[in-house]
């Protein structure tokens, strides 16, 4: 259930609004609102599409979605705990998208704010606390996590991108995608880089890491099993690749409630 469809967020007569749900359900519809939105994943994992790019939020990560940004949220997690906060903000920072791991101090502040979940009243304590949280948000976001996949607008990439998403575990060569797309190698490489912002190898690496984060968050597979499941030939190769993208170890993302 998307709160934006239940309550008109922008019509609320309060600058901040807290929404907490367990086993969150979504309608997967693109929408926007005048307030900015902080999405925190306490457990599970969450996909967010913002302005044509897909971002993944593993557990203990958050995304700040700027005011007016067209977005939708959906998840493949069977169970997910989300805290969503809406805020009226005006700084330059708040008008940019940020995806980041949540430090312990911010995590405790977010959990403390749960007491005001779905409250429609203007509570002075709530307003003061949330104002402080959002004022400090830029300091919590020291290094934004750049884990996203751009959705290509060029329809000539539809088939090769679809093939990549279905066969990311395999060692795919650009020549294979050239045949699938009926484009010359040079044309495909140029369009692919322009539309996705990365090479084929990098795109496939990001796909594998995103899938590995899903598997690690589910808690069903070991790191070794996850590595082979997403196409790596060894745990060492997977760990190196994972750390280069996430700046963290795979063990940091194993589900904590195993």
Task: Check which CATH number belongs to the domain holding 184 and give it.
Answer: 1.10.10.60
Do 131 and 199 sit in the same domain of this protein?
no
Paired residues of 70 in beta bridges: none
Do 10 and 128 sit in the same domain of this protein?
yes
Give the per-residue pLDDT at 62. Answer: 92
Domain count, the chain: 2
Both structure tokens of 213: 């984060």
In which element (H, E) is residue 194 found? helix 185-196
Give the per-residue pLDDT at 257. Answer: 41
Do 81 and 188 sit in the same domain of this protein?
no
- Between helices 158-166 and 200-218, what is the axis angle to 10°? 40
Alpha-carbon distance of 41 to 24, in angstroms, equals 11
Do 96 and 158 sit in the same domain of this protein?
no
52 is a domain residue? yes
Give the per-residue pLDDT at 76. Answer: 58
Place of tokens 């650009």: 174
List average pLDDT for each run of 10 residues in the chain, which is 258 residues long: 61 91 71 93 83 81 93 71 90 91 91 94 95 94 74 88 92 92 94 90 92 82 94 96 90 65
Place of tokens 């996590």: 145
59 is a domain residue? yes
146 is a domain residue? no
Question: Which of the listed residues 78, 113, 140 is the one where a domain comes to its end?
Answer: 140
Task: Write out the residue range of the structural domain in which residue 186 sits.
Answer: 152-253
68 is a domain residue? yes
Do 129 and 160 sit in the same domain of this protein?
no
> What is the CATH classification number for the domain harbouring 74?
2.60.120.280
Do 36 and 157 sit in the same domain of this protein?
no
Give the per-residue pLDDT at 22. Answer: 73
Give the per-residue pLDDT at 100. Answer: 87
Do 76 and 171 sit in the same domain of this protein?
no
Do 110 and 171 sit in the same domain of this protein?
no
Give the per-residue pLDDT at 75. Answer: 60
What single DSSP character describes residue 88? -
Question: Which of the listed residues 93, 115, 140 is the one where a domain comes to its end?
Answer: 140
76 is a domain residue? yes
pTM: 0.75
Give the per-residue pLDDT at 230. Answer: 96
Do 8 and 104 sit in the same domain of this protein?
yes
Give the per-residue pLDDT at 185. Answer: 94
Question: Distance of alpha carbon 232 from its chain centroid, rounded?
Answer: 23
80 is a domain residue? yes
Give the per-residue pLDDT at 239. Answer: 96
39 is a domain residue? yes
145 is a domain residue? no
Do 126 and 163 sit in the same domain of this protein?
no
Give the per-residue pLDDT at 43. Answer: 77
Question: Which of the listed residues 108, 140, 172 is the one where a domain comes to its end?
Answer: 140
Give the per-residue pLDDT at 34. Answer: 93
Do 239 and 184 sit in the same domain of this protein?
yes
Do 124 and 21 sit in the same domain of this protein?
yes
CA proximity to 233, closest of 156, 153, 142, 170:
170
Give the per-residue pLDDT at 3. Answer: 46
């Amino acid at each position: 259930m998307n709160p934006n469809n239940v309550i008109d967020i922008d019509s609320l007569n309060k600058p901040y609004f807290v929404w907490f749900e367990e086993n969150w359900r979504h309608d997967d519809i693109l929408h926007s609102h005048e307030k900015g939105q902080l999405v925190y994943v306490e457990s599970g994992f969450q996909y967010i599409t913002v302005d044509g790019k897909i971002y993944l939020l593993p557990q203990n990560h958050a995304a700040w979605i700027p005011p007016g940004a067209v977005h939708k949220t959906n998840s493949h997690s069977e169970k997910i705990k989300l805290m969503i906060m809406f805020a009226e903000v005006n700084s330059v920072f708040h008008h940019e998208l940020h995806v980041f791991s949540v430090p312990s101090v911010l995590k405790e502040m977010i959990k403390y704010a749960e007491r005001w979940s779905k409250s429609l009243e203007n509570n002075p304590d709530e307003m003061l606390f949330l104002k402080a949280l959002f004022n400090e948000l830029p300091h919590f976001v020291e290094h934004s996590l750049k884990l996203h996949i751009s959705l290509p607008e060029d329809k000539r990439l539809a088939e090769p991108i679809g093939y990549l998403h279905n066969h990311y575990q395999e060692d795919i060569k650009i020549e294979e995608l050239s045949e699938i797309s009926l484009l010359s190698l040079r044309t495909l490489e140029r369009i692919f880089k322009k539309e996705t912002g990365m090479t084929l190898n990098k795109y496939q690496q990001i796909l594998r890491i995103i899938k590995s984060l899903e598997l690690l968050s589910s808690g069903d597979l070991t790191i070794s099993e996850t590595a082979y499941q997403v196409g790596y030939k060894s745990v060492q190769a997977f760990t190196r690749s994972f750390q280069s993208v996430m700046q963290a170890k795979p063990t940091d993302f194993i589900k904590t409630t195993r």
